[in-house]
Amino acid sequence: MSSGRRKAIEELARGRDLTNQLRDLLTKSFGDDGLLGSEDLVTKILNSFANTLSILRSSSGDYDEVSQNPRNSNMSWDGRKSEESGESIKSSTQKDRRGCYKRRKSEHSWTRDSPTLIDDGHAWRKYGQKVILNAKHPRNYYRCTHKHDQGCQATKQVQQIEDDPPKYGTTYYGHHTCKNLLKASQLILDSTSKDSSILLSFANTNKQDNSMFSAFPPVKQESKEDMPSDITYNLSTSSPDYLLSPDHLTTFESSAQMTVLSAADHADVISGVVDSVDLDDLLEF
């Protein structure tokens, strides 16, 4: 990888660490309640750092040509593909070979915790809930709503770690490649086959915050909690405050380059809803 990139990564990591310090400082000085106002912001900043670092690291060196339009080709973009070896004889009962999912290896992940459910501005779809050994509260599994639309592989797990002062831990896996377009974009899309998608790359346009998501209502959706937990063991939480696992690029999905609709003047449509840390930086002009 180029030394410039390396420098950039170091600098980002430094920013992340400093932000963590700031966060700890805020927490210590004002407690969780004092953090309420700035909690979103700090969390977002940290997520931004984490995302950017993840992107920069995962697309190190060679570029990939994957992650283009998830146009309905022969393959569905949902992780496991359909074995090109040509057979697809999924006869017999309906419970044939359901998942051939592989267990989560050392994929990029980072965790955050907060006294409230953190809202990262992304659309999540819950797909599972599990009781975890030695944990008081079950773990909830979310994936990006646009997994099937756009092959967005982002995933997160949310679990209540502590409940006197409620604290929730959220672990993110992968980063978003979805665009979160409005329905209005349909008009733009179908304009014949003039696929004039352009690729944006990183550029440090110092933008100011236009996210219009500065403060969220405390709870939107996410887990509504439950009660069946009366198994009280010890809680040997092995979850540090935050972690950034070492690199390991098992996944492809480079969001270092993403396709954008043509129409250089439809920013008004887009800028309304998107808040994703990794996309906003790219959608700026």
Partner DNA sequence: AATATTTGACCTCG
Partner DNA sequence: CGAGGTCAAATATT
Interacting residue ranges for DNA, rule: CB under 7 A: 78-80, 94-105, 123-134, 139, 141, 143, 145, 155, 157, 221, 223-224, 226
Q: Cβ of residue 143: shortest distance to DNA, in angstroms?
A: 7
Phi, psi of 20 (to 5 degrees): -60, -40
Q: Which residues contact 93 (CB under 8 A, 6 or more apart)?
A: none
- Single-letter amino acid code for the residue at 51: N
Nearer to DNA, 52 or 54 (CB): 54
Nearer to DNA, 30 or 127 (CB): 127
**What would the two tokens of residue 64 be?**
């990939």
Nearer to DNA, 68 or 134 (CB): 134
Q: Cβ of residue 79: shortest distance to DNA, in angstroms?
A: 6
Q: Cβ of residue 95: shortest distance to DNA, in angstroms?
A: 5
Nearer to DNA, 34 or 128 (CB): 128
Nearer to DNA, 96 or 230 (CB): 96
Q: Cβ of residue 73: shortest distance to DNA, in angstroms?
A: 19
Q: Cβ of residue 138: shortest distance to DNA, in angstroms?
A: 9
Q: Cβ of residue 254: shortest distance to DNA, in angstroms?
A: 20
Nearer to DNA, 106 or 214 (CB): 106
Task: Calculate the alpha carbon distances from 128 to 98, 115, 155, 263 in Å.
Answer: 16, 22, 12, 38
Q: Cβ of residue 193: shortest distance to DNA, in angstroms?
A: 24
Q: Cβ of residue 100: shortest distance to DNA, in angstroms?
A: 4
Angle of helix 3-34 relative to helix 36-58, nearest 10 degrees, comes to: 160
Nearer to DNA, 89 or 264 (CB): 89
d(CA 136, CA 59): 38
**What would the two tokens of residue 189 be?**
């899309």
Nearer to DNA, 14 or 248 (CB): 248
